[in-house]
């Protein structure tokens, strides 16, 4: 059922709620014929998605400040919010098929749901559904690494040679096989990213590992790629990312 919201409750009902689930806002009025035509299609689209998208309604006559705030000049005006921001919108009584397409663009896909589940079986199914999605491939590769299936991890990312995180995983597999920096991988798998990065940087400055016979130039390049791969998971503005990019640059 749609939620009637007002100027008083809009921040809570729409802006904040959209940080958990997409919210579609219907700016309408009782006297508006096209609004009454569009309303049932919006409600049907919300109902089909089982809570994956929320529908809120704003009566523009009673909430003129809200209408002005969001630049509503004609109604019905429909605006979709995600993460507190407008991500899509349209004006007018569009056909039900277009309403469905609009909602489809907001609701999580089956692949998104499987990615959120996070287990290897779900990730494999997600990869089959959307084989060109790097985020799914990387999650699957990491799940396989967690159980020591390095060859299967490489298989998951083989279609993404230009992805820094994928290249980092490929480099890790080769370094593990050569016995390079084993403490780094244990730290990384344990969630201690900084310890892993410190160990890799220390290994970068060493001539080699006692257990390894890898060419020094190749070894340094693989460690560099592994570090970059770890940093690729961080926001570029993250202080840790900035710090370790500086350290890597100095080490090279």
Give the active site residue among 32, 53, 139, 156.
32
Same domain, 99 and 9: yes
Cα torsion for 37, 39, 45, 48, to the nearest 10°?
Answer: -110
When pLDDT is averaged across residues 89-98 and rounded to a whole number, the result is 95
Same domain, 170 and 245: yes
Mean pLDDT score of the chain: 92
Give the active site residue among 23, 35, 72, 230.
35
Using the 3D structure, point to which of 56, 83, 104 is the last residue of a domain: 104
**pLDDT bucket at 19, cuts 50 / 70 / 90:** very high
* In the predicted structure, residue 36 carries a pLDDT above the cut 70: yes
How many domains, the chain? 2
Is 35 catalytic? The answer is: yes
Q: Considering the domain boundaries, does residue 154 fall inside one?
A: no
Number of other residues whose CB lies within 10 A of the CB of residue 105: 13
32: CATH: 3.40.30.10
CA triplet 147, 218, 145: central angle to 5 degrees?
A: 5
Cα torsion for 249, 222, 242, 157, to the nearest 10°?
Answer: 150
* In the predicted structure, residue 236 carries a pLDDT above the cut 90: no
Q: Considering the domain boundaries, does residue 153 fall inside one?
A: no
* In the predicted structure, residue 211 carries a pLDDT above the cut 50: no
Same domain, 166 and 93: no
Q: Considering the domain boundaries, does residue 135 fall inside one?
A: no
* In the predicted structure, residue 238 carries a pLDDT above the cut 90: no
Beta strands 54-59 and 3-4 are parallel
Is 7 catalytic? The answer is: no
When pLDDT is averaged across residues 46-73 and rounded to a whole number, the result is 94
d(CA 22, CA 107): 7
Same domain, 169 and 99: no
* In the predicted structure, residue 246 carries a pLDDT above the cut 60: yes
Which range (53-62, 123-132, 206-215) has the least confidence? 206-215
Give backbone dihedrals phi and psi of 163, rounded to 5 degrees, phi first: -85, 125
Give backbone dihedrals phi and psi of 74, rounded to 5 degrees, phi first: -145, 150
Which among 71, 60, 49, 53 has a CA at the least distance from the CA of 14? 53
The string of pLDDT tens digits covering residues 145-167 is: 989 999 999 999 999 989 999 99
* In the predicted structure, residue 210 carries a pLDDT above the cut 90: no
List the domain range (segments joined by +) for residue 189: 161-251
Same domain, 23 and 99: yes
Beta bridge partners of 3: 56
Looking at residue 46, its pLDDT comes to 95
Q: Considering the domain boundaries, does residue 116 fall inside one?
A: no
Q: Which two three-digit tokens encode residue 132?
A: 């060109």
**pLDDT bucket at 47, cuts 50 / 70 / 90:** very high
Q: Considering the domain boundaries, does residue 117 fall inside one?
A: no
> What order do you get walking across the sheet with 85-91 strand by strand?
3-4, 54-59, 23-28, 77-82, 85-91
* In the predicted structure, residue 100 carries a pLDDT above the cut 50: yes
**pLDDT bucket at 192, cuts 50 / 70 / 90:** very high
Q: Considering the domain boundaries, does residue 8 fall inside one?
A: yes
């Amino acid at each position: 059922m749609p939620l009637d919201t007002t100027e008083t409750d809009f921040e809570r009902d729409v802006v904040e709620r959209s940080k958990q689930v997409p919210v579609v806002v219907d700016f309408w009025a009782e006297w508006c014929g096209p609004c009454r035509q569009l309303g049932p299609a919006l409600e049907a689209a919300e109902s089909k998605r089982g809570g994956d998208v929320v529908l809120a309604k704003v009566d523009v006559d009673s909430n003129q400040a809200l209408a002005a705030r969001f630049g509503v000049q004609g109604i019905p005006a429909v605006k979709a919010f995600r993460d507190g921001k407008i991500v899509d919108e349209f004006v007018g009584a569009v056909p039900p098929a277009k309403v469905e397409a609009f909602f489809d663009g907001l609701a999580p896909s089956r692949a998104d749901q499987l990615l959120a589940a996070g287990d290897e079986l779900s990730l494999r199914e997600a990869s089959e559904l959307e084989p060109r999605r790097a985020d799914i491939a990387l999650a699957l590769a990491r799940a396989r690494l967690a159980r020591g299936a390095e060859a299967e991890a490489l298989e998951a990312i083989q279609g993404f040679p230009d992805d820094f995180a994928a290249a980092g995983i490929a480099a890790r597999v080769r370094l593990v096989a050569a016995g390079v920096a084993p403490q780094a991988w244990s730290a990384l798998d344990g969630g201690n990213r900084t310890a892993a990065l410190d160990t890799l940087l220390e290994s970068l400055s060493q001539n080699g590992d006692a257990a390894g016979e890898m060419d020094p130039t190749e070894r340094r390049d693989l460690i560099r790629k592994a570090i970059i791969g770890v940093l690729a998971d961080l926001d570029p503005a993250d202080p840790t990312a900035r710090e370790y990019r500086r350290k890597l640059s100095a080490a090279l």
